[in-house]
Amino acid sequence: MAAHVAHDETEFAPPAEVGEFELYHPRTFIGKYIWSQDAKVIAIQYALTAMGIGLVALVFSWLMRLQLGFPGTVPFIDPSVYLQLVSMHGMIMVIYLLTALFLGGFGNYLIPLMVGARDMVFPYVNMLSYWIYLLAVLLLVVSFFVPGGPTGAGWTLYPPQAILDGTPGARWGILLMLVSLGVFVIGFTMGGLNYVVTVLQARTRGMTMMRLPLTVWGIFMATILALLAFPALFVSAIMMFLD
């Protein structure tokens, strides 16, 4: 009995625009799992880092709720520390966890699989994107330990509140936060260009845009929005840093 073909389009699907080519094959452990250019490995790196820093933010949210439920029970949570917990929780959850996990993690893992591409179109830039993201996370973590602690200006970091004396972390904390945010935007832009170009240019034969799974459409649209929004954030971060 012949194999069942649910939807055979070999007759009219146009030929692939990108021909078959040899992929990068790492041979060492470091090449395969650390400085990896494989979208799946990068996806896991993104996801693990995002969830790691997300767990920190989760602990912050526990501390906030402890203070709300049982005021004054945790001795080190004074109003300044509370605002720092709120600010860092919000910032990590929105930027360093959700953006990185949904776009960096799911995007890298699912886009090539779902559009039928062999890998992302710019594997090396993809790798750099992750390491720059990791640098942004580390800079954020460093801000927890500088004099005055991290910024407590709320996760919108709006001026002049963020740089006024009396706002927690108004000196070192906010500076590191802004540098971290700038670095994050650079890293994200590298990844984002990859997702968009891969979706637009590296789909397999017969995978028209209207046949893309909704998951890919979601990641694609979110990436476009982020690519449009983040440059403004980047410029704002630089301007406030200079202030």
Taking the complex as a whole, how short is the minimal distance between the CB of residue 160 and another protein, in angstroms? Answer: 6
How far apart (Å, rounded) are the C-alpha atoms in residues 142 and 63? 20
140 CB burial (10 A radius; 0-12, 13-18, 19+): buried
Pick 19 or 75: Cβ nearer another protein:
75
Nearest distance in Å: CB 166, another protein: 4
Nearer to another protein, 19 or 147 (CB): 147
Least gap, CB of 2 to another protein (angstroms): 16
Q: State the chain's maximal CA–CA distance in angstroms.
A: 79
Which residues contribute to the site for another protein (CB under 8 A)?
A: 6-7, 72, 75, 78-80, 83, 86, 152-154, 158, 160-161, 164-168, 211
What Cα–Cα distance (Å) separates residue 85 from each residue in 57, 80, 178?
A: 8, 9, 17
Q: What is the CA radius of gyration of the chain?
A: 21
Q: How far is the CB of 75 from another protein (least distance, A)?
A: 7
Query: H helices within 70-157, ranges in order?
Result: 79-91, 108-115, 123-142
> How many alpha carbons lie under 13 Å from residue 197 in its C-beta half-sphere?
14
Nearer to another protein, 123 or 213 (CB): 213
DSSP 105: I
Question: Which CB sits closer to another protein, 9 or 201?
Answer: 9
* Least distance from another protein to the Cβ atom of residue 187, Å: 28
Name the residue nearer to another protein (CB basis): 35 or 155: 155
Q: Which is nearer to another protein, 80 or 236 (CB)?
A: 80
User: Least distance in Å: CB of 4 to another protein?
Assistant: 10
Whether the CB-CB separation of 170 and 216 falls below 8 Å is answered with: no
Q: How many helices (H) and strands (E) does the chain have?
A: 7, 0
